Chains A and B, each alone.
Chain A
Amino acid sequence: MTLTTARIAWRNLGRNRKRTVLAVTAIALGQLVVVFVNGMMTGMTGQMLNVITGPLVGHVQVHHPDWTEERATDLTIDDLDAVLKEIESLPAVEEVHPRVYCGALVAPKSKPGEASDAEAAMVVGVDPEAAIAQGGTLDGLAADKAPGEHRVAVGDVLANRLGIEEGQEIAVIGQDRDGFPAADLYTVSAVVRSGVDLINSMGVVMSVSDAQTLLALPNKAHELVIRGGDPQDADALAEAVGGLEGLSGYEVLSWREAKPELVRIIDMKAYIDLIFLVIVFIAASAGIANTMMMSTFERMHEFGMLLALGTNPRRLVRLILIEAVILGVIGVAVGSALGVGIVWITGQTGIDYAAISGIKTDGIAFDGILFSYVIYPQIPVRHIFYGLIAVILTSIVSSLWPAALAARLEPAEAMRS
């Protein structure tokens, strides 16, 4: 009997194709928007997380306890080799790299008798291999241009200011950890544009060993950047690292603790995204509910006829609900397919959010790290199911009222209208 009802419902939809197409379009459009907006937001948040938990910040950072606040050259992690070995012995650790930082003055090497301009700069000592890896501080730099022995990469803004190019020599002048003057000459192996704002504007990136030599920091570093498997496990990783014997007394922070500003921005974004999604969602379901209700109300004449022919009122309600479910399922299927298609395509090409407004920009720098406005949408499968359930529920609920009304119709009355 239900099967027959279902067949009648299906035929009803086929008989009034235009109405069916319109309802399916409305539902599909609703689902499409929910899927797409969700995909965009997931993509954006995912990208931010990727940048943050990538090689720039890592999952866990280790510093001297006073380093974060004071950034003084003498606040180091000592006995570096032993510490690194100990951290590497942890099974959860995938990679660990030391870094060295120090403010300095940089000048192009001048010819005798010629005045040369010096600029304030930041010496950053890194592991060259890790730095040129994807997402690293020098992402995209060819291996033969990477910093090496007395070869440094210079941020493009600083290079422009100093008027230097690749291949030129520069002098770096600063203070070593004991406060004595420290100076050396380096060849500029590359002028770089990095995802770290500070490196672009002031960075002189050299190998850790060069920086250690320059600043009199043998076997010492200012920062250890550790990466494990999943960034979500960073807290556990931080705990494991903090428990190591050689690290007692040092500050061990997960990326959440190391970059609270970025975490706040992501949290705030998630909150605003949620408001956004709720609005989109209400809009989509109101549209669908309206479509279902109105088109069902317009069919009272037909329902009266069915009742007159002896259809059980309960069966009529079932009929209307089955129609609603079929419309909902088809609409959601079409909408999801289109939504996933669009998300997939834009996920390959990227959407330049900045280009919508016609403004040219590399992105926005939060806490010194550059975030791109080119969004690559992603789609977690569960979002489609949320949409599926919600849309079908909306279809059913919104046709319940007219269905209940139809069941109580006086057939003669309904047919006369």
Chain B
Amino acid sequence: MIGRVSVIYAMRSLWRNPRRTLLSILGVGIGCSLAVVATSYYSGAADTQIRAIAESGTGHLRVVPEGWLETRENTLRLVDTEGVLEAARKLAGAEVAAPRAYAQALLAFGTRTSVVQMTGVEPEAEKEVNRIVSRSEIAGRYLEPGDDSQVVIGKALAGRLDVELDDDLMVTLSAGGEMQGAMLRIVGVLDAGSDDLELMVCHVTLGKVEALTGEPGAGEVTVLLKDTDAIAAAQGELAAAVPKGDRVVTWKQVNPGFAAGIEGDKGFIRFLIFVVMVVVALGIMSAQLTAQLERRREFGVLLAIGMKSPQIVVLIFMEALVTGVAGGVVGLGLGGAISYYLATRGVDLSTFLGEENAVAGVLLDPIIYADFGPWLVGFSIIIGTAAALASAIYPASFAVRVDPASALREV
């Protein structure tokens, strides 16, 4: 019963002071809408970036040899490549799993030389796992299974070596203490739209790297998942399935530089939203405080006619709760509309990216779409309610201290 009377009274009290109520709701609403827009935009931007990073060769998950994470030593090989591949391809949420092996090599053509990290790939899988391959224009063709003296290189690399399609490149690398050499026919020149990326592309088949280095197996198996939210679960599942001695890591561990930026932004946004809501709560609090005189009398009367102070506290928090929820809904309406626009139309960053669309080895998407979904409803209402309830603590603490006799005596 205590609750019911307070609730009814709270609603009436809000209704009796329409301007205060509306301004409180509007204040909370504007705060919430900013929180909604900022969070949905940055969450969308983070998702877009994570997808770009994962699809530019990093993968969501990667199986690497023990010790690779610490040393980044690309000459390490998986203990059991076949076993890892089998486990990765059986993983329920996996879209594609691609093995790779790397070797540092010196490419030479005439007097031109260039040092590259040669990547041995499984052509079919690589096309699916790596957008740098699938989204680029390739003059000639990409690798095919069984190619054992063919190479695909980036356009910028071709420029540095002054080579064309169908030229034969001399490749030199060291393996097991001896220098190995081979001639590779250029069957494809890959145009990724970014010199930065193209300089890193020197793809041969996995079998060719195995043969040149004399080391069997892959240096990593890169896995793309269907659902980005399932990374942690999939990591555990895959880790249980891969043979001992190999390790499952996430894109964050592979690419901590990017991960720190994305996570740091997320933390920063949360901090800003917190500050915004504190400012909003202060506004409501100061209005409540100004109404102090009026409400002192009101609470005095309520106490005098037999209401208990806990009921008054419930009453105050009920008012705040209603204000907060209503503010959250207003915020959802305002912010949701902007988020929806940003989610469907997107923010086009291509004017900044220009012709080049890669940053630090990642082929970016030029348009960022905000993350719009049902989660915004709960998010907005929780934030609005939290701010409104916080602002009610002070008036509530003051209300319980009201002495009915002296409150009524005041003008």
Chain A residues with a Cβ under 8 A of chain B: 16, 18-19, 22-23, 25-26, 29-30, 33, 37, 69-74, 102-105, 107, 115-122, 157, 160-161, 174-175, 177-179, 202, 260-261, 264-265, 267-268, 271, 279-280, 282-284, 286-288, 290-291, 293-295, 297-299, 301, 353-354, 356-367, 373
Q: List 22 A-B contacts (CB under 8 A).
A: A19-B286, A26-B282, A30-B279, A33-B275, A71-B114, A72-B160, A117-B177, A118-B179, A161-B75, A174-B113, A179-B111, A264-B352, A264-B353, A280-B276, A283-B30, A283-B275, A283-B279, A293-B23, A294-B24, A294-B284, A298-B291, A359-B256
Q: Is the CB of A290 within 8 A of B352?
A: no
- Chain A residues whose C-beta falls within 8 Å of the C-beta of B71 in the assembled complex: 160
A120 with B352, Cβ < 8 A, contacts A22-B289, A29-B275, A287-B276 known: no
Chain B residues with a Cβ under 8 A of chain A: 19-20, 23-24, 26-27, 30-31, 34, 37-38, 71-73, 75, 104-106, 108, 110-116, 156, 159-160, 162, 172-174, 176-179, 196, 252, 256-264, 266-268, 272, 275-276, 278-280, 282-287, 289-291, 293-294, 349, 352-354, 356, 359-360
A357 with B263, Cβ < 8 A, contacts A260-B356, A287-B280, A294-B283 known: yes
Q: Is the CB of A297 within 8 A of B75?
A: no
A280 with B290, Cβ < 8 A, contacts A264-B354, A265-B359 known: no
Q: Is the CB of B260 within 8 A of A287?
A: no
Q: Is the CB of A367 within 8 A of B196?
A: yes
- Within the assembled complex, what's the spacing in Å between the Cα atoms of A67 and B113? 13
- Chain A residues whose C-beta falls within 8 Å of the C-beta of B359 in the assembled complex: 261, 265, 366
- Chain B residues whose C-beta falls within 8 Å of the C-beta of A361 in the assembled complex: 256-257, 259-260
- Chain B residues whose C-beta falls within 8 Å of the C-beta of A282 in the assembled complex: 30, 34
- Within the assembled complex, what's the spacing in Å between the Cα atoms of A124 and B72? 22
Q: Is the CB of B282 within 8 A of A359?
A: no
The 8 closest A-B pairs by CB, nearest first: A115-B177, A357-B263, A287-B279, A294-B287, A298-B290, A364-B257, A354-B260, A290-B27
- Within the assembled complex, what's the spacing in Å between the Cα atoms of A105 and B24? 71
Residue on B nearest A359 in the bound complex, by CB: B260
Q: Is the CB of B160 within 8 A of A356?
A: no
Q: Is the CB of A16 within 8 A of B290?
A: yes
- Chain A residues whose C-beta falls within 8 Å of the C-beta of B286 in the assembled complex: 19, 22-23, 26, 291, 294-295
Residue from B37, B111, B354 within 8 A of A74 (CB atoms):
B111
- Chain A residues whose C-beta falls within 8 Å of the C-beta of B174 in the assembled complex: 105, 107, 117-119
How distant is A237 from chain B, measured CB to nearest CB, in Å?
24
Classify the interface of chain B: helix, strand, loop or mixed: helix
Q: Is the CB of A179 within 8 A of B110?
A: yes
- Within the assembled complex, what's the spacing in Å between the Cα atoms of A26 and B282? 6
Residue on A nearest B34 in the bound complex, by CB: A283
Residue from B20, B264, B293, B352 within 8 A of A268 (CB atoms):
B352
Residue on B nearest A21 in the bound complex, by CB: B286
A70 with B260, Cβ < 8 A, contacts A26-B286, A37-B272, A367-B196 known: no
Q: Is the CB of B266 within 8 A of A357?
A: yes
Count of CB-CB pairs between chains A and B under 8 Å = 217
- Chain A residues whose C-beta falls within 8 Å of the C-beta of B289 in the assembled complex: 18-19, 22, 295
Residue on A nearest B287 in the bound complex, by CB: A294
Q: Is the CB of B104 within 8 A of A120?
A: yes
Residue from B177, B275, B285 within 8 A of A22 (CB atoms):
B285
Q: Is the CB of B280 within 8 A of A290?
A: yes
Residue from B75, B160, B290 within 8 A of A299 (CB atoms):
B290
A284 with B356, Cβ < 8 A, contacts A26-B286, A175-B108, A279-B38 known: no
A294 with B111, Cβ < 8 A, contacts A70-B162, A288-B279 known: no
How distant is B187 from chain A, measured CB to nearest CB, in Å?
22
- Chain A residues whose C-beta falls within 8 Å of the C-beta of B26 in the assembled complex: 290
A103 with B114, Cβ < 8 A, contacts A157-B72, A295-B286, A298-B20 known: yes
- Within the assembled complex, what's the spacing in Å between the Cα atoms of A74 and B360? 28
- Chain A residues whose C-beta falls within 8 Å of the C-beta of B290 in the assembled complex: 16, 19, 294-295, 298-299
Q: Is the CB of A359 within 8 A of B162?
A: no
Q: Is the CB of A72 within 8 A of B23?
A: no
How distant is A300 from chain B, measured CB to nearest CB, in Å?
9
- Within the assembled complex, what's the spacing in Å between the Cα atoms of A178 and B38? 58
How distant is B164 from chain A, measured CB to nearest CB, in Å?
14
- Within the assembled complex, what's the spacing in Å between the Cα atoms of A261 and B179? 36
- Within the assembled complex, what's the spacing in Å between the Cα atoms of A188 and B324? 67
Residue from B113, B162, B256, B287 within 8 A of A298 (CB atoms):
B287
How distant is A366 from chain B, measured CB to nearest CB, in Å?
5
- Within the assembled complex, what's the spacing in Å between the Cα atoms of A373 and B359? 16
Q: Is the CB of B276 within 8 A of A283?
A: yes
Extra pairs beyond A69-B160, A283-B30 (7, CB < 8 Å): A115-B178, A117-B176, A179-B110, A282-B30, A290-B283, A294-B284, A361-B256
- Chain A residues whose C-beta falls within 8 Å of the C-beta of B263 in the assembled complex: 356-359
A71 with B280, Cβ < 8 A, contacts A260-B356, A264-B356, A364-B360 known: no
Q: Is the CB of B31 within 8 A of A26?
A: no
Residue from B73, B264, B294, B353 within 8 A of A161 (CB atoms):
B73
Q: Is the CB of A71 within 8 A of B105?
A: no
- Chain B residues whose C-beta falls within 8 Å of the C-beta of A271 in the assembled complex: 349, 352
How distant is A48 from chain B, measured CB to nearest CB, in Å?
13
Q: Is the CB of B264 within 8 A of A287?
A: no
- Chain B residues whose C-beta falls within 8 Å of the C-beta of A279 in the assembled complex: 34, 37-38, 272
Q: Is the CB of A291 within 8 A of B268?
A: no
B31, B38, B264, B294 — most chain A CB neighbours (10 Å): B264
Residue on A nearest B358 in the bound complex, by CB: A261
- Chain B residues whose C-beta falls within 8 Å of the C-beta of A115 in the assembled complex: 176-178
- Within the assembled complex, what's the spacing in Å between the Cα atoms of A33 and B31? 15
Q: Is the CB of B259 within 8 A of A268?
A: no
- Chain A residues whose C-beta falls within 8 Å of the C-beta of B114 in the assembled complex: 71, 103
How distant is B123 from chain A, measured CB to nearest CB, in Å?
24
Q: Is the CB of B30 within 8 A of A122?
A: no
